[in-house]
């Protein structure tokens, strides 16, 4: 495996896990209707982070392009999560911001 990808792979995998935790917690909130956008973006982020990590593992020629998409989705998810006061959303937002930065660094390399 290309060691240049290793850090970004780990960030993407961890971000997917944190988004899964946020998603599960959002579904347990009293008013899930106010969490619909957060849940939707968690799902998108989980999917794109896993895909980006997989393409990096494969050393795909499309890995950098996927990292750009991942950074964009992570940023959107972070913005939505930041609008909620719940701890799980705040943790998710922070992880998404970190992952987006790591993915941007990968696309610049």
Residues 6+ apart with CB under 8 A from 104: 67, 68, 71
Q: Give domain limits for the chain.
A: 3-108
Other beta carbons within 10 angstroms of residue 59's beta carbon come to 11
Q: What number does CATH give the domain 3-108? A: 1.20.1270.360
pLDDT tens for each residue of 37-74:
999 999 999 999 999 999 999 999 999 999 999 999 99
The whole-model pTM stands at 0.94
pLDDT per residue over 16-38, tens digit each?
999 999 999 999 999 999 999 99
pLDDT, tens digit (0-9, with 9 covering 90-100), for 76-101: 999 999 999 999 999 999 999 999 99
Question: Which of 33, 29, 45, 34 has its CA nearest to residue 77?
Answer: 45
Q: What is the DSSP letter of 33?
A: G
């Amino acid at each position: 495996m290309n060691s240049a990808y290793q850090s970004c792979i780990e960030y993407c995998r961890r971000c997917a896990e944190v988004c899964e935790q946020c998603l599960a917690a959002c579904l347990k909130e009293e008013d899930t209707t106010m969490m619909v956008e957060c849940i939707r973006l968690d799902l998108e982020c989980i999917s794109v982070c896993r895909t980006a990590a997989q393409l990096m593992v494969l050393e795909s020629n499309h890995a950098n392009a996927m990292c750009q998409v991942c950074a964009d989705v992570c940023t959107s998810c972070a913005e939505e999560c930041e609008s909620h006061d719940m701890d799980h959303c705040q943790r998710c937002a922070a992880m998404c911001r970190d992952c987006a930065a790591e993915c941007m660094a990968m696309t610049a390399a």
